[in-house]
Copies of this chain bind each other. A is one copy, B any other.
Amino acid sequence: MTLPMVVPAAGLPARVRIHEVGARDGLQNEKTTVPTEIKAEFVRRLADAGLTTIEATSFVHPKWVPQLADAERLFPQVAELPVDLPVLVPNERGLDRALALGASRVAVFASATESFAKANLNRTMDEALAMFEPVVARAKARRVHVRGYLSMCFGDPWEGAVPVPQVVRVCRALLDMGCDELSLGDTIGVATPGHVTALLTELDVPVEKVGVHFHDTYGQALANTLAALQHGVTTVDASAGGLGGCPYAKSATGNLATEDLVWMLQGLGIDTGVDLGRLVATSAWMAEQLGRPSPSRTVRALSHQEQ
């Protein structure tokens, strides 16, 4: 298999933890609903490819995310894997469901803008934060690790560019209520590298508490990731095969493909623990289940080679 030549660059971390979101953020945005057994096999294959943090599913009410309505059946099928398996919880009811299954990592999801808080959570930003407060407190009391997703950190479809201080305010609120880490989301993919650096600089929290979550809507995800790495960030969200944003649909908002990320990190000599060949085979297999080609350029390039 073709691999990039390894040439490190100055000022980058030695190791990056990939927070794999394909099974959750990816599949919840695919039109095809995948059978539970296939989802479990997907998570197993991702773990086998060396990913160590695999977001498994969501305990949002099935009415809102029907693709992941099988969370109670899926989670026990993968719970014994030797990897971290965070799950999304929107509120206390979701937390109860996750805790009942023994989840040791959960994630809440806040918004950096009023418009998206209203659209996604039907609440103001502050009402949403108030809703998360007991979720985080109860999780922490159970020694459960809590991630705080923050959507629309760079731009918002209704409000346009999002001011950095506004994002920083919500980040601090999430950390103050006890979140162990944040994931800064460019939900509509509009960010560019200077904006990424500006937010990280202004945020000024220890880099181990900050992950970045870029979408490739305008092709910027990997350049933005490079800027984040240069700032010292060591946690990067990505979706195997680029699941979750079909480039053929009008609503294309593709997640950064894990394979494209791994290609860059491998070339830079940054350790991820991932076996790129196994990961590509996993995404090619999942693309078959979904009946459409993977939007990941690396998956396409390497799958073609192997044919």
Where the two chains meet, the residues of A that have a C-beta atom closer than 8 Å to any C-beta of B are 2, 4-5, 7-9, 12, 154-155, 157, 160-162, 189-195, 197-198, 216-220, 222-223, 225-227, 247, 250, 252, 254, 257, 260, 263-264, 266-269, 296-298, 300-301, 304, 307
**Contact partner of A4 among B5, B7, B190, B268, CB < 8 A?**
B190
A162 cross-chain contacts in B, Cβ below 8 A? 5
Copies of this chain, tallied across the complex: 2
Complex CA–CA separation, A192 to B155 (angstroms) = 28
Tell me whether B219 and A222 are in contact (CB under 8 A).
yes
Which single residue of chain B is at the shortest CB-CB distance from A190? B4
Tell me whether B192 and A268 are in contact (CB under 8 A).
yes
Contacts A193-B226, A193-B264 known; A219 to B297 CB distance under 8 Å? yes
Complex CA–CA separation, A264 to B193 (angstroms) = 8
**Contact partner of A218 among B4, B161, B190, B250, CB < 8 A?**
B4
Contacts A5-B190, A7-B192 known; A301 to B268 CB distance under 8 Å? no
Complex CA–CA separation, A160 to B225 (angstroms) = 26
Tell me whether B192 and A227 are in contact (CB under 8 A).
no
Complex CA–CA separation, A247 to B295 (angstroms) = 9
A257 cross-chain contacts in B, Cβ below 8 A? 219
**Contact partner of A252 among B217, B220, B268, B300, CB < 8 A?**
B300
Tell me whether A192 and B304 are in contact (CB under 8 A).
no
Tell me whether B190 and A260 are in contact (CB under 8 A).
no
A300 cross-chain contacts in B, Cβ below 8 A? 247, 252
A161 cross-chain contacts in B, Cβ below 8 A? 4-5
Contacts A223-B222, A227-B9, A267-B194 known; A2 to B301 CB distance under 8 Å? no
Tell me whether B267 and A219 are in contact (CB under 8 A).
no
Tell me whether A195 and B297 are in contact (CB under 8 A).
no
Complex CA–CA separation, A190 to B300 (angstroms) = 13
Closest Cβ–Cβ distance, residue A200 to chain B (whole Å): 11
Tell me whether B7 and A263 are in contact (CB under 8 A).
no
Tell me whether B222 and A263 are in contact (CB under 8 A).
no
A298 cross-chain contacts in B, Cβ below 8 A? 218-219
Complex CA–CA separation, A162 to B307 (angstroms) = 25
4 nearest A-B pairs in the assembled complex, by CB-CB distance: A192-B267, A5-B161, A219-B260, A9-B194
Tell me whether A197 and B247 are in contact (CB under 8 A).
no
A297 cross-chain contacts in B, Cβ below 8 A? 216-219, 247, 252, 254
Tell me whether B252 and A301 are in contact (CB under 8 A).
yes
Contacts A219-B257, A219-B296 known; A192 to B252 CB distance under 8 Å? no
Which single residue of chain B is at the shortest CB-CB distance from A199? B7
Tell me whether A9 and B301 are in contact (CB under 8 A).
no
Which single residue of chain B is at the shortest CB-CB distance from A265? B192
Complex CA–CA separation, A257 to B247 (angstroms) = 15
Most buried by B among A5, A257, A268, A296: A5
Complex CA–CA separation, A9 to B197 (angstroms) = 7
Tell me whether A227 and B227 are in contact (CB under 8 A).
no
